[in-house]
Amino acid sequence: DQQVKQNSPSLSVQEGRISILNCDYTNSMFDYFLWYKKYPAEGPTFLISISSIKDKNEDGRFTVFLNKSAKHLSLHIVPSQPGDSAVYFCGGGETSGSRLTFGEGTQLTVNP
């Protein structure tokens, strides 16, 4: 039972353009969602989060959108930079302190 799905294993964009990474979930009990970025041979690092009571959260070049009725969220990066090239994981959590359930990840490549 895969509660969080990232259906695109990879995404390639040009520097300066927008990157849109998608995530779908099935667990209606998720109360919050987080995006993490992971470089090879490193641990995941927190990027941005959104509560289930909101539909948008923005932090600099990063914006996360949540559509609860569709059980879908997306991460927008604009403008994309080569340093953004990494694997991005979407995760959902039910209550504070509970485990995060992650998707399979999307490899983003930003070409100069």
Partner 1 sequence: NAGVMQNPRHLVRRRGQEARLRCSPMKGHSHVYWYRQLPEEGLKFMVYLQKENIIDESGMPKERFSAEFPKEGPSILRIQQVVRGDSAAYFCASTFSGANVLTFGAGSRLTVL
CB of 92 to partner 1, least distance (A): 10
> What DSSP state is assigned to residue 83?
G
Decide whether 13 or 37 has the Cβ nearer to partner 1.
Answer: 37
Name the residue among 38, 43, 25 with its Cα closest to residue 107. Answer: 38
Decide whether 15 or 31 has the Cβ nearer to partner 1.
Answer: 31
- What are the angstrom distances between the C-alpha of 62 and each of 24, 35, 59, 79? 18, 10, 5, 9
CB of 103 to partner 1, least distance (A): 6
**Residue numbers at the binding site for partner 1 (CB under 8 A):** 6, 32, 34, 36, 41-46, 49, 89, 91, 93, 96-105
Decide whether 6 or 80 has the Cβ nearer to partner 1.
Answer: 6
Structure-token pair, residue 17: 């353009």
What separation, in Å, do the N-terminal and C-terminal C-alpha atoms of the chain show?
A: 38
CB of 104 to partner 1, least distance (A): 4
